[in-house]
Every structure is written in C-alpha cells, then in structure tokens.
Amino acid sequence: MEERQFELSVHGCRLRGAAGGSGPAALLLHGGPGIPDYTAPLAAELAPLVSTLRYTQRGVDPSDAGPPYSVEVHIRDAIAVLDAHGIDRAWVIGHSWGGQLALHLVVAHPERLLGIVCVDPVGANGDALEEFVQNFAARVPAEDWSRVEELGSRNGDADLSVDERERAALESHHLIWPYYFADPSVAGPDYLTRYGVECAAQTDASVKEHFERRTLVNGLPSARLPALFLHGKDDPLPVRCSTETAALMLDATVELVPDCGHFPWLERPGAVADAVGRLLARA
C-alpha cells in the first residue's frame, strides 16, 4: 500500500503520520502511551476497506515531545488530525490504549465519529489491569519476570535520568514482548525502539483519574454510534475488558479471535479486516 506522509502542528507539537487506503475515513490510534506508531501492518490490512490516517501520538519521536500529556490533550490531537485532513466524521480504530482513547472520543466528540473499532482495548474502568499483570507473571519465565519487576521499580525513581528510565522501559518491554502472543514463537522482533517515559507516566496518571471519575462508565451508555470490540481469546489483557465495556453501549458487538493474543493482525492476519468489513456492511 502506498502512503502519503504528513506533518502538522498541534498546540505547540508536531505530529507526524501517514495516510493511505481507499474508502471511508478511518483514524488509527496506536497503544502505549508514549510509544511510536506501530500500526503500518494494520493499515495495510485495512487499505481495501478504509482510507486510514495513522500518526505517532505526542511524546515520542517521530512526533514531538510536547507536554502536557493527558487524555484531554490526546483527544484534542486526534480531532486536530481529522481537521487537518478536512474530515468531518470518521471511523476510529484503536488498539490497546488507543482503543480506550477511541472510547473517550465517543464520549467527548460523538459528532465527529461514524463509529469505533476497539481492538484488544484497555476497557472502560481499569478493573482488569491487575489481572493483566498477573497473566504476564504466569507466562514470562520466572528469571525474566524478576528482571521485569526490578526494571519496573525504576519508573518512579526520581534519581534516574529520563534516558535511564527509557532504557529500563525498553528492556522490560523486550522481555515480555513474546508473551503478548498466544504462541510466543511467532512474535518476531520487538517493534519498540523508543519510549517516551514522561508521556507514559503523565498519560497513565490522567487515565487513572478518568477511571476514578468513571468518565467512560457514565458516558458510554448515552452513545448512539456503532461499536465493534475485537479481542484475542488468549490476550494477557483479559477479554472482559472488551465484553464489559461493550455491555455499556447500545450498539456494540464483540468478536473473539481464537488462538490469538494482543496483536490480531500480526498473529491472525485478516481477522481485523474481516471483522471491520462485516461492521461496515452492517452499518
């Protein structure tokens, strides 16, 4: 698929991304937060169905590191990407944290959306995040998991530099990367080479605040947009993140991908496109 690179300035920060495909507009939102966009293979899979816009969220190269970092700022950035391309309404397809950001867009700006697709999302209330960690602890070899816990303790260490915290985060991600997959042997090299630790920390704090305020739990029942939740059955992020969130919405369906972990388009190529195709036909 051919893509056109784009760059735009949003509230003092340059966002960089790519556009391609054909069909109705679809904004892709990657997970993280604080990591570069990794959705190029997903955009290629969806290219026959939708015109994709994907970008690296603020906080890490190739976009700029531009605080503050909050749910509200990420929402504002997403809308600015649509505005810069002259798009009044679009589908939003979000993965992991990006799926949660898509849900916040439903609550904050339903008038700009045609509908949403949440692929293995974090969910509306955060209740399953501890289970997510426990699932990794059960999958990752004990020696590696001990190292992951040691590295995790450095995230809040004010005596460490940003570079030291980034190196710790990257090493930790490399150790757990294969266990995002139902079959770790198919994982391939870890895509993550940069990590915006300040963006991740501040955005995670903002997410926690919204969990406590029940922003999504209280706001999603009023949504009138079609929603699809696609979740790998063997994702360490529990399936109930999708099922319980979908239950809050009036027009939401859930599809589970068998023998699949957190990245369906990598582990089960075509699964996301097939599900999106069915959603578009139904909508």
pLDDT, tens digit, for every residue of 161-213? 889 999 999 999 999 999 999 999 999 999 999 999 999 999 999 999 999 99
Q: What is the CATH number of the domain that holds 219?
A: 3.40.50.1820
Residue 105 lies in a domain: yes
Kindly state whether residue 182 falls inside one of the protein's structural domains. Answer: no
Whether this model's pTM surpasses 0.75: yes
Residue 234 confidence (pLDDT): 98
Of the candidate ranges 27-36, 61-70, 108-117, the one whose mean pLDDT is the lowest: 61-70
- If one counts the domains in the chain, the total is 1
In a domain, 64, yes or no: yes
Q: Kindly state the tokens that stand for 157.
A: 């260490």
In 3D space, the residue among 27, 10, 16, 110 whose CA is nearest the CA of residue 68 turns out to be: 10
Where do runs of H (alpha helix) occur along 71-196? 71-84, 97-108, 129-139, 142-152, 162-176
3-state DSSP call for residue 15? Answer: strand
For the sheet containing 3-10, what is the strand order? 3-10, 13-21, 51-55, 25-29, 90-95, 113-119, 227-232, 252-257
In a domain, 51, yes or no: yes
58 lies in some domain: yes
pLDDT tens, residue by residue, 71-119: 999 999 999 999 999 999 999 999 999 999 999 999 999 999 999 999 9
Band the pLDDT of 156: cuts 50, 70, 90: low
**Domain annotation covers residue 212:** yes
Question: Residue range 258-277: average pLDDT?
Answer: 97
Residues of the chain by 3-state class (helix, strand, coil), percent to 5: 45, 20, 35
- pLDDT band with cut points at 50, 70 and 90 for residue 279: very high
Tell me, yes or no, whether 216 lies in a domain. Answer: yes
Residue 151: inside a domain, yes or no?
no
Q: Which domain holds residue 14?
A: 3-128+199-282
